[in-house]
Amino acid sequence: MKKRFKYKTLDEMRWEAITLGIDIPFSDDFGVFKRPVDLGSETISNRFVDQPMEGNDAQIDGTPGPLTLRRYRRLAEGGAGIIWVEAIAISREVRGNEKQLMLINETIGAFKSFVAEIKDVSLKANGFEPYVVAQLTHPGRFGKNRKILFHDRFLDEKYGITEDFPIMSDEELENLKYDYLKAAKLAERAGFDAVDIKACHRYLLSELLAAHTRGGKYGGSYENRTRLLKDIIKLVREEVEIDITVRLNLSDFIPYPYGWGSNEEGSLDFTEPKRLLKELEELGVKIINVTASTPYLKPHINRPYDEMGKYNPPEHPITGAMRLLNLAKLAKENLSKTLVVASGFTWFRQFAPYVAAGALKNNWCDFVGFGRMTFAYPDYPKDILFKGSLDPKRVCITCNKCAELKAAGESCGCVIRDGEVYLPIYKKMEESQKK
| Domain ranges (residues) in the chain | 10-391, 400-435
* Interval 135-152 mean pLDDT: 92
End-to-end CA distance of the chain: 31
Helix axes 108-126, 170-190, angle to 10 degrees: 50
User: pLDDT value at position 144?
Assistant: 79
Cα 300 from Cα 306, distance rounded (Å)? 9
What is the chain's mean pLDDT, rounded?
95
pLDDT greater at residue 59 or residue 1: 59
| pLDDT tens profile 176-234 | 999 999 999 999 999 999 999 999 999 999 999 999 999 999 999 999 999 999 999 99
DSSP, collapsed to helix, strand or coil, labels residue 43 as: strand
Domain 10-391 has CATH 3.20.20.70: yes
Cα 190 from Cα 1, distance rounded (Å)? 45
What one-letter code names the amino acid at 285? V
User: pLDDT value at position 421?
Assistant: 98
Cα 80 from Cα 89, distance rounded (Å)? 24
Helix (H) or strand (E) holding 427: helix 419-434
Cα 331 from Cα 327, distance rounded (Å)? 6
Q: How does DSSP classify residue 58?
A: -
* Lowest-confidence region among 41-55, 179-193, 251-265, 304-318: 304-318
Q: How does DSSP classify residue 84?
A: E
Residue 141 to residues 41, 249, 261, 389, Cα–Cα distance (Å): 35, 17, 20, 41
Q: How does DSSP classify residue 131?
A: E
Provide the pLDDT confidence category of residue 146 given band limits of 50, 70 and 90: confident
H helical segments located in 291-412: 299-302, 317-333, 352-361, 372-376, 380-387, 401-407
Percent of the chain at pLDDT > 90 equals 92
Cα 35 from Cα 31, distance rounded (Å)? 7
Helix (H) or strand (E) holding 367: strand 367-370
User: pLDDT value at position 308?
Assistant: 59
Q: Please give the biggest Cα pair distance in the chain.
A: 58
What's the pTM value of the predicted model, to 2 decimals? 0.97
Confirm if 196 and 236 have CB atoms less than 8 A apart: no
β 37-38/43-44 pair status: antiparallel
Cα 383 from Cα 23, distance rounded (Å)? 26
Cα 65 from Cα 57, distance rounded (Å)? 6
CB within 8 Å of 386: residues ≥ 6 apart = none
CA-angle at 28, arms to 23 and 31, nearest 5°: 125
| pLDDT tens profile 292-330 | 999 999 999 999 988 656 667 889 999 999 999 999 999
CB atoms within 10 A of CB 35: 13
Cα 430 from Cα 432, distance rounded (Å)? 5
* Interval 45-54 mean pLDDT: 98
